[in-house]
């Protein structure tokens, strides 16, 4: 495969993830509007449940989706999932009850469940380690640009046409992405995996062996804590900016775009910088771990803005903290692949992405409950800081080479084929 084709597909994967995030994030903008809240008579806890419901199915299906792409490859499952989630997103425009919205959000999670396992599997077998940080940074930029684009586009469309038309336009508009996917991507990742296994001479790690190691549990805890903040920002940040900081809907969309757009840019820079240091002879695990921890540290500055009475200070630190977390974005995913080189990548990606999206389950629900019982946003924002500190601890004390499974033929039983 030529470099031009390879990086074109990496960018295509980024746009696929961008579209997925637009379709999962647009509901948070709708929930910040007075019209929608009054139409469905929503409490804060119910808003939290609606924001969370996508992740109920999405998180639980990450491990099965990983096994699916390991078994059947990435191309066809991605096509099927894309068609399903686009149709469901557009169909949300017809919802008339809270129950229907909850069901549609869970169906959206089913359709999108294959995206990350499939994308990371393709990158694992088509991009070498020395360039993988940049590839992952470009890919995960879609997870930041999606909310940035989605919040802005949803706000504009709601203002111009109403929330029902917004779901139709954004849901069906993304289907054009399937044309280059079908044309450019080969269904050969299983063959590439077999060639890689033969050339390395290393045994494949059984799934059970990986799950017994402290390193994978450190990854799971750190991933959950990282994404608790991300999914708070995706689901409740619009409402926080409108209700607590009294921004207009369009201003909210603009500042949300700055926050996630900044995260995307920092993520690409950090992926490139880590790759450069590794190419110069640096230890891949040490470098990617340092970037990951640095991202958590900068993100912890969120609590400064949350406790300030100044709207300008609050908005500034909302942008700085989320953008700073971009230092970790590509590197914490690449770190997992470096620590676990012999594991079935779809399955391990499924485990990590399950942990990631459990943050999407917990953050909206816990935020809604904490806001309802405390009467404001201060306590929910302080909770974010505690999760970020826990994530730093997980990467410092558990995600270590000596706690990773060892690729030895004596330690790993041979599996029949």
The predicted structure's pLDDT at residue 195: 67
| Residue 361 belongs to domain with CATH number | 1.20.1250.20
Cβ-defined contacts of 39-42 (< 8 Å, 24+): 40/97, 40/98, 40/101, 42/98
- Domain presence at residue 237: yes
Q: What is the mean pLDDT of each run of 10 residues along the chain (417 residues)?
A: 89 95 90 89 90 88 85 91 96 93 95 91 82 84 85 90 94 95 85 63 67 89 94 88 86 83 89 90 93 96 89 91 91 82 62 84 92 92 95 95 67 35
Q: Tell whether pTM > 0.85.
A: no
Under 8 Å between Cβ of 147 and 23:
no
Residue 205 backbone dihedrals phi, psi, to 5 degrees: -75, 125
Distance CA 401, CA 132 (A): 19
- Domain presence at residue 196: no
The predicted structure's pLDDT at residue 283: 92
Domain count, the chain: 1
Residue 191: count other Cβ atoms within 10 Å of its Cβ: 12
**What one-character-per-residue DSSP string does 18-75 give?**
HHHHHHHHHHHHHTTSHHHHHHHT--HHHHHHHHHHHHHHHHHTHHHHHHHHHHH-SH
The predicted structure's pLDDT at residue 409: 42
- Domain presence at residue 258: yes
The predicted structure's pLDDT at residue 132: 80
The predicted structure's pLDDT at residue 7: 93
- Domain presence at residue 90: yes
Cα distances from 199 to residues 5, 26, 192, 196, in angstroms, run 24, 45, 11, 5
- Domain presence at residue 416: no
In terms of residue numbers, what domain contains 226?
3-187+202-403
- Domain presence at residue 414: no
Under 8 Å between Cβ of 364 and 51:
yes
The predicted structure's pLDDT at residue 204: 62
Distance CA 149, CA 323 (A): 15
The predicted structure's pLDDT at residue 384: 95
Q: Where are the alpha helices (DSSP H) in 202-344?
A: 207-211, 214-235, 237-239, 249-279, 284-299, 302-306, 311-324, 326-339
- Domain presence at residue 367: yes
Q: Please, which residues have CB within 8 angstroms of residue 36's CB and are 6 or more apart in sequence?
A: 30, 42, 163
- Domain presence at residue 315: yes
- Closest to 233 in 3D by CA, of 176, 294, 164, 317: 317
């Amino acid at each position: 495969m030529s470099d031009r084709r390879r990086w074109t597909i990496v960018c295509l994967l980024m746009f696929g993830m961008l579209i997925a995030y637009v379709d999962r994030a647009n509901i948070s903008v709708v929930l910040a509007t007075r019209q929608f809240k009054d139409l469905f008579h929503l409490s804060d806890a119910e808003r939290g449940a609606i924001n969370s419901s996508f992740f109920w199915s999405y998180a639980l299906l990450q491990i099965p989706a990983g096994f699916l792409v390991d078994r059947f490859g990435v191309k066809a499952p991605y096509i099927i999932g894309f068609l399903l989630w686009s149709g469901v997103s557009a169909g949300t425009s017809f919802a008339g009850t809270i129950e229907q919205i909850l069901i549609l959000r869970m169906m959206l999670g089913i359709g999108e469940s294959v995206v990350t396992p499939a994308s990371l599997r393709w990158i694992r077998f088509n991009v070498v380690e020395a360039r993988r940080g940049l590839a992952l940074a470009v890919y995960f930029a879609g997870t930041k640009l999606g909310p940035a684009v989605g919040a802005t586009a949803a706000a504009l469309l709601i203002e111009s046409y109403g929330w029902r038309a917004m779901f139709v336009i954004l849901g069906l508009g993304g289907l054009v992405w399937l044309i280059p996917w079908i044309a450019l991507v080969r269904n050969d990742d299983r063959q590439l995996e077999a060639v890689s296994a033969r050339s390395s001479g290393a045994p494949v790690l059984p799934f059970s062996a990986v799950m017994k190691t402290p390193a994978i549990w450190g990854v799971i805890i750190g991933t959950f804590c990282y994404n608790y903040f991300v999914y708070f920002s995706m689901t409740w940040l619009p409402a926080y900016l409108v209700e607590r900081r009294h921004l207009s809907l369009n201003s909210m969309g603009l500042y949300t775009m700055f926050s996630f757009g900044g995260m995307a840019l920092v993520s690409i820079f950090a992926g490139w910088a880590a790759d450069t240091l590794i190419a110069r002879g640096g230890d891949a695990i040490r470098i990617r771990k340092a970037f990951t921890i640095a991202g958590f540290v900068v993100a912890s500055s969120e609590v400064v803005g949350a406790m300030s009475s100044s709207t300008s200070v609050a908005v500034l630190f909302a942008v700085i903290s989320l953008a700073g977390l971009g230092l970790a974005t590509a590197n914490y995913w690449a770190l997992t692949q470096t620590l676990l080189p012999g594991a079935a990548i779809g399955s391990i990606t499924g485990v990590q992405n399950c942990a990631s999206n459990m943050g999407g389950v917990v953050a909206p629900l816990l935020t809604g409950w904490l806001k309802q019982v405390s009467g404001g946003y201060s306590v929910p924002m302080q909770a974010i800081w505690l999760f970020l500190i826990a994530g730093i601890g997980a990467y410092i004390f558990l995600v270590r080479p000596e706690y990773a499974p060892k690729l030895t033929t004596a330690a790993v039983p041979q599996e029949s084929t």
